[in-house]
């Protein structure tokens, strides 16, 4: 395939190939293996219309570790600010011979629009509330690494489900991989309609966490709350904020995940976030390995096309 636009498009085989390739490359991120040159002579550009620390830097490091030249467009100081359209920006970058465009945009479907209009491979680094496929793939890799597989695992995702591209991508993939996914949050931040994707949606956080193998907290996305947040942050953290007491309802070997950045003290208490059950920092390391795997596999596809 030319692009990676969403988990919805990937088969179980494709997901597992990405996870196994990431596993073979993780040593490069941890300094235990030698860097590769499978992208030597190739160029990648990051175009982030929304803020990012992890995703943008992970792609920059992943491309660099594979030998590519990686540049950042710097949307805030680019001609996007003069009104240049997304498609015209893409065509301009295409004309410079760029091989990979890694884009985050506030509009659902933006990555698909770009991919249709450029020769470069497009990787969706988050499009509105639609999908964040590379985040989900690093989540899958972390679960696969820690639990050895997905079949019958109870994965509970707690938080601002309604605005979450991370939740959607995770649901698309985890249900295909055989996990049982439960989504939990207040009625204003959950969507019962997501049950048609094969998961369960509840408002009782203790019931959701009970016997979970994985508990994934999500950030409250204040930037996407049009009419203000209900319940407010204090009420939210009192009822839905995860702490050690609620985590006790999960299985004894349960793991805590979060895509980050975390609103400390809102969706997670600092005590729980910094405890041994948390794999949040390892998710970041795995994020570089997964993005290396994605770039290397897309490159293989381009060479065999
Ligand atoms: N998880 C995630 O996408 O983080 P950033 O917004 O920092 O990229």
pLDDT of residue 229: 66
Position in ligand 1 atom list of the atom nearest CA 53: 7
CA distance linking residue 284 with residue 291, whole number of Å: 11
How close is the Cα of 5 to the center of ligand 1, in Å? 17
CA distance linking residue 74 with residue 69, whole number of Å: 16
* pTM (two decimals): 0.97
CB atoms within 10 A of CB 147: 16
Cross-strand partners of 217 = 158
Residue for token digits 């596999």?
297
**The CATH number fitting domain 7-132+284-304, selected from 3.40.50.1110, 3.40.50.1370, 1.10.3720.10, 3.40.228.10:** 3.40.50.1370
> How is domain 133-279 classified at the CATH fold level?
Rossmann fold (3.40.50)
Tokens (6 digits) for 117: 């209009």
Question: Which residues 6+ apart lie within 8 Å of 210 measured at CB?
Answer: 249, 250
pLDDT of residue 232: 84
User: What does the pLDDT look like over 48-106, one tens digit per residue?
Assistant: 999 999 999 999 999 999 999 999 999 999 999 999 999 999 999 999 999 999 999 99
CB of 46 shorter than 6 A to ligand 1: no
Mean pLDDT calculated for residue range 201-209: 97
CA distance linking residue 214 with residue 253, whole number of Å: 9
- From the list 173, 260, 164, 142, the residue with the least C-alpha distance to 221 is 164
CB of 104 shorter than 6 A to ligand 1: no
CB of 260 shorter than 6 A to ligand 1: yes
Give the closest residue (by CA) to ligand 1 atom 4.
54
pLDDT band at residue 220 using 50, 70 and 90 as cut-offs: confident
* Domain(s) of CATH 3.40.50.1370: residues in the chain: 7-132+284-304, 133-279
CB of 52 shorter than 6 A to ligand 1: yes
What is the interface pTM, i.e. ipTM, of the complex? 0.98
Q: Where are the beta strands (DSSP E) in the chain?
A: 43-48, 69-72, 100-105, 121-127, 154-158, 180-184, 200-202, 214-217, 255-257
User: What does the pLDDT look like over 133-186, one tens digit per residue?
Assistant: 999 999 999 999 999 999 999 999 999 898 899 999 999 999 999 999 999 999
pLDDT band at residue 264 using 50, 70 and 90 as cut-offs: very high
209: Cα within 13 Å, side-chain hemisphere: 26
CB of 169 shorter than 6 A to ligand 1: no
Alpha carbon distances (Å) from 108 to 6, 129, 130, 231, 286: 11, 6, 5, 26, 26
User: What does the pLDDT look like over 106-128, one tens digit per residue?
Assistant: 999 999 999 999 999 999 999 99
3-state helix, strand, coil in the chain (%, to 5): 45, 15, 35
How close is the Cα of 54 to the center of ligand 1, in Å? 5
DSSP 3-state assignment of 32?
Answer: coil
How would you class 118 by CB atoms within 10 Å of its CB: exposed for 0-12, middle for 13-18, buried for 19 or more? buried
């Amino acid at each position: 395939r030319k692009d990676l636009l969403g988990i919805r498009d990937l088969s179980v085989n494709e997901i597992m190939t990405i996870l196994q390739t990431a596993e073979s490359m993780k040593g490069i991120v941890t300094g235990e293996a030698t860097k590769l040159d499978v992208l030597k002579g190739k160029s990648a550009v990051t175009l982030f219309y929304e803020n990012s620390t992890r995703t943008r830097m992970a792609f920059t490091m992943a491309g660099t570790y594979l030998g590519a030249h990686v540049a950042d467009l710097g949307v805030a100081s680019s001609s996007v600010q003069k009104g240049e359209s997304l498609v015209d920006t893409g065509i301009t970058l295409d004309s410079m011979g760029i091989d990979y465009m890694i884009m985050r945009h506030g509009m659902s479907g933006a990555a698909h629009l770009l991919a249709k209009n450029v020769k470069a491979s497009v990787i969706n680094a988050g499009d509105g509330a639609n999908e964040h496929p590379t985040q989900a793939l690093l989540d899958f890799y972390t679960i696969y690494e820690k639990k050895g597989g997905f079949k019958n695992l109870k994965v509970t995702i707690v938080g601002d489900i309604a605005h979450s591209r991370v939740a959607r991508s995770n649901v698309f993939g985890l249900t295909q991989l055989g996990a049982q996914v439960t989504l939990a949050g207040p009625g204003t931040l959950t969507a019962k309609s997501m049950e048609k994707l094969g998961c369960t949606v509840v408002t009782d956080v203790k019931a959701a966490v009970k016997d979970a193998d994985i508990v994934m907290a999500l950030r409250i996305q204040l930037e996407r709350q049009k009419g203000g947040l209900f319940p407010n942050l204090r009420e939210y953290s009192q009822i839905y904020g995860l702490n050690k007491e609620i985590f006790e309802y999960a299985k004894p070997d349960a793991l805590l995940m979060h895509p980050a950045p975390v609103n400390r003290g809102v969706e997670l208490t600092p005590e729980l976030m910094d405890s041994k059950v948390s794999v949040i920092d390892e998710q970041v390391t795995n994020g570089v390995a997964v993005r290396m795997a994605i770039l290397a596999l897309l490159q293989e596809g381009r060479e065999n096309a």
